[in-house]
Every structure is written in structure tokens, then in C-alpha cells.
């Protein structure tokens, strides 16, 4: 690793067109699973201008009004513009039944999946954790998410008026070796709904005082004279579906580790958790996070590789990047011993198919913006440090 480098990661607010599509897709998943925990669903959304297109493939007897679900998400995100709102947008749907599920005969009477069900797809997944932040996420993506969430908060509270739901943030962190040393840069692009004289300067001041300062002040890394902070560096930012198209699954890096670690490239949103490319990503993160929290490594990446027709991964690999207290081979043995990566086991251990019925406002929709990992405000089963004690015995 070089002695020093700068790494940038991006986050976007929930009104970004891609994230709007992710939330609509996951709202469909929530709605169906809340009625039928064994429902299978693929929901993909696209938005451009005032047109929303929702393609859904599903296997369930649950009822759903796809257009109503989409309009509810659009309103909740905060789009109430004449050119795009829950009332004015046109929603096109293409619902179709999925082919019969080969695992349908493996469901227990209560809807819980048996641990031996086979995997219907192929994918290689990655889970990552590090000591950079309290959430055990890389600093750039963690800071970018903090800033984008703060942008949404000041918009919803009215502290900054005329803010559109669409904004994006880039956070740059300067590293010394493998440790974050300083905040190199922060770039904010925020769409305001009016462009009166003086608005650009006022927005710049408000974002500095109401967004950046409250997020940065409590951190261990501070802004110094070398930190570059820019707001709308190319002038007024034109955001929202009227200006940019959106598509489900197009923000994989934002959903995972901000490109600091590898990800599968597979979309996480819009799929029921029986898809291994979704639940396997959660299982890999769970293993990596518990390894780091147990003090076995400062940084840890867990790779899971799955093939069609097999319930367990064909390959499990671990990399500690030279920070492990034991050899990577020894750490991998402990991962294999204490984590079960079979599809059915992941579903059972995390109760993934039953979570939407326990969260009336939606569970997976909450993940569709601001990342699927490190969400300390949510009680996510794959973020729990429930294997730390047993893993610590590896050091005794």
C-alpha cells in the first residue's frame, strides 16, 4: 500500500432518481413479504421525466396495487413539484408471474425455509469491515452517508428552504498508510427549486453551517486549511427525475462500501431475500464485521462464491490485508466454523423473509437509501456483533 493517498466515495440522498427507483422496488418487496413471507419477487423500476415504469415478476397470492405503492414512495421522498409529484406522474406497470419455484416444496409449515434448499443463481459476493469508523465501515463512504442524511434532515425540517429531494455528496479522505489522517475534500451538489439572485451564495453558507459543520464537529478527523469544500461547483445543480433518469440497482458502490472494497456488482434492491446475491452480501458483511469487532483483524474482506443448484458456497475466502492477529488461513478456519453460509441458514438466522411484517413502515425500503451496511439507527441482523465472544477465543 502506498505511504499516502486520497480516497473519494459518493453518497446520494433519497430523492436521487436511482435511489427513488431502489426505494420503489424495495417497497414492492416489503408489501408482498408482509403478506406472504414466502413470496418471490423481482421488482425493477425506471424513471424519466414524469414517467415511472415498474416491471415486476412475482410468485405469490398476496395482493398489491403497484401504482399505489410507487406513488406513496414518491410522496414520502418529498417530490411535490408541478412537473413531478405523486399526483402528476404517469406510472406504467408490467406485472408477470414468475416460473414455479423449485424450492417451493422445501418450505416448513410456518413459512420458514429449511436449511438444505438449493441456490437458484450464481454470484460471487464480498463483505468488508474495518476499524476506520464506529460502524466499522470505510471512512469515505461513512462520512458521505452522514452528510447526505443531514442534507435530507435540514430539507425535511425546513431549515434550508427550497431544497429539492435530490442531492449528492462526495467525501475525500487522506490516508497515511492504511489509516485515515484528514478530511481532504467535501463536495456537495444540491438542487434548489428556485434560482433567484443571491440564492447560490445563501445556499453555500447554509450548507456549510447547517450540514457540514454539525456532521464534522464531533468527528475525530477535522477540517483544516488544506480541506477543500465546494458547494455546487458548476453552478446550480439540476436534479430530480425531470433532469436525470433513474434505474434500480445502479448505485451498487453507494449501497455497499463506496468502492473501498469490492462488491459483486449485483443490485441489492428489488429482490426478495431468497436471492443469494442479496442475502449472501449481508452474510458476508456479518462475518467480516464480527471478525474485526473481535479484534482478529483491523481490516477484513470475506468472499463467498455460489453456483446454481448448491445450497452452500463453492468457495469461501478471507483477506486481512496484513492486519490479522493470526494468519489468513487460520482466520478463514474460524469463519468456516462459526458462520453458516448456506442459503436457507442465512434466511433462518436473520429471519429475512419475516422482517417486513414486523416493520409497518417498511423494512427493505429503509435500506434503499444511505447504504445497506453500517446503519446504526436500524437494528439490522447482519450488523449485530453476536459472534464476537466466540471468535475472541481464537486469540486465547
Residue 109 pLDDT: 35
> SS3 for 248?
coil
Pick the CATH number of 4-11+139-240 from 3.30.460.10, 1.20.120.550, 3.40.980.10, 3.30.300.10: 3.30.300.10
* CA distances to 208, 243, 269, 368 from 166, in Å: 18, 11, 19, 14
- Provide the greatest CA pair distance for the chain: 66
Work out the angle at residue 221's Cα, subtended by the Cα atoms of residues 219 and 224, and round it to the nearest 5 degrees: 120
Outline which parts of the chain fall under CATH 3.30.300.10.
4-11+139-240, 17-103, 123-131+251-395
Tens-place pLDDT, residues 228-250: 999 999 887 888 999 999 999 99
Residue with cell 469490492: 262
Q: Tell how strand 123-130 and strand 51-59 pair up.
A: unpaired
Q: Which of the residues in the chain have pLDDT under 50? A: 105-106, 108-114
Own/partner pairs, 195-203, CB within 8 angstroms, 24+ separation = 195/236, 199/162, 200/232, 200/235, 200/236, 203/160, 203/231, 203/232
CA distance 84 to 79: 7
Nearest alpha-carbon partner for 186 in 231, 154, 134: 231
- Record the pTM: 0.93
Contacts of 306 (CB under 8 A, 6+ apart): 119, 121, 122, 123, 124, 125, 276, 280, 313, 314, 343
Phi and psi at 180, nearest 5°, equal -65, 135
SS3 category, 6: strand
Q: Which residue has the cell 458521505?
A: 144
**How big is the CA angle at 201 (ends 199 and 204), to the nearest 5 degrees?**
105
Q: Determine the CATH number of domain 17-103.
A: 3.30.300.10
β 4-12/228-231 pair status: unpaired
Q: Edge-to-edge strand order for the sheet containing 123-130?
A: 123-130, 299-306, 315-319
The pLDDT value recorded for residue 287 is 98
pLDDT tens digits, one per residue of 320-367: 999 999 999 999 999 999 999 999 999 999 999 999 999 988 999 999
The answer for 354, left when phi > 0, alpha when psi is -120 to 50, beta otherwise, is: alpha
- Which class is domain 123-131+251-395? alpha beta
Amino acid at each position: 500500500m502506498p505511504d499516502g493517498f486520497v480516497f473519494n466515495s459518493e453518497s446520494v440522498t433519497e430523492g436521487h432518481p436511482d435511489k427513488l427507483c431502489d426505494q420503489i422496488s424495495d417497497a414492492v418487496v416489503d408489501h408482498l413479504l408482509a403478506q406472504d413471507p414466502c413470496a418471490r419477487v423481482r421488482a425493477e423500476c425506471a424513471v424519466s421525466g414524469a414517467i415511472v415504469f415498474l416491471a415486476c415478476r412475482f410468485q405469490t397470492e398476496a395482493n398489491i396495487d403497484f401504482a399505489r405503492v410507487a406513488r406513496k414512495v414518491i410522496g414520502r421522498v418529498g417530490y411535490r413539484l408541478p412537473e413531478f409529484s405523486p399526483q402528476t406522474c404517469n406510472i406504467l406497470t408490467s406485472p408477470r408471474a414468475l416460473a414455479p419455484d423449485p424450492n417451493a416444496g422445501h418450505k416448513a409449515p410456518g413459512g420458514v425455509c429449511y436449511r438444505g434448499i438449493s441456490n437458484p443463481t450464481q454470484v460471487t459476493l464480498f463483505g468488508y469491515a474495518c476499524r476506520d469508523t464506529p460502524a466499522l465501515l470505510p471512512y469515505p463512504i461513512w462520512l458521505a452517508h452522514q452528510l447526505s442524511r443531514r442534507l435530507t434532515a435540514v430539507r425535511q425540517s425546513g431549515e434550508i428552504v427550497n431544497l429539492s429531494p435530490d442531492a449528492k455528496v462526495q467525501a475525500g479522505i487522506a490516508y497515511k498508510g492504511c489509516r485515515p489522517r484528514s478530511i481532504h475534500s467535501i463536495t456537495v451538489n444540491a438542487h434548489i427549486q428556485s434560482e433567484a439572485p443571491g440564492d447560490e451564495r445563501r445556499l453555500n453558507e447554509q450548507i456549510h453551517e447547517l450540514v457540514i459543520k454539525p456532521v464534522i464537529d464531533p468527528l475525530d478527523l477535522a477540517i483544516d486549511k488544506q480541506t477543500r469544500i465546494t458547494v455546487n461547483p458548476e453552478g446550480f445543480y439540476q436534479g430530480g427525475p425531470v433532469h436525470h433518469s433513474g434505474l434500480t440497482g445502479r448505485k451498487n458502490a453507494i449501497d455497499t462500501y463506496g468502492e473501498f472494497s469490492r462488491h459483486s456488482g449485483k443490485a441489492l434492491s428489488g429482490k426478495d431475500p431468497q436471492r443469494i446475491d442479496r442475502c449472501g452480501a449481508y452474510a458476508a458483511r456479518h462475518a467480516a464485521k464480527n471478525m474485526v469487532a473481535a479484534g482478529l483483524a483491523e481490516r477484513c474482506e470475506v468472499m463467498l462464491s455460489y453456483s446454481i443448484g448448491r445450497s452452500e458456497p463453492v468457495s469461501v475466502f478471507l483477506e486481512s490485508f496484513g492486519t490479522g492477529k493470526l494468519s489468513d488461513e487460520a482466520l478463514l478456519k474460524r469463519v468456516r466454523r462459526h458462520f453458516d453460509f448456506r442459503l436457507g441458514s442465512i434466511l433462518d438466522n436473520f429471519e429475512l423473509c419475516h422482517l417486513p411484517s414486523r416493520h409497518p413502515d417498511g423494512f427493505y425500503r429503509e435500506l434503499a437509501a444511505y447504504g445497506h451496511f453500517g446503519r446504526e439507527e436500524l437494528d439490522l441482523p447482519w450488523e449485530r456483533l453476536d459472534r464476537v465472544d466466540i471468535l475472541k477465543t481464537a486469540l486465547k
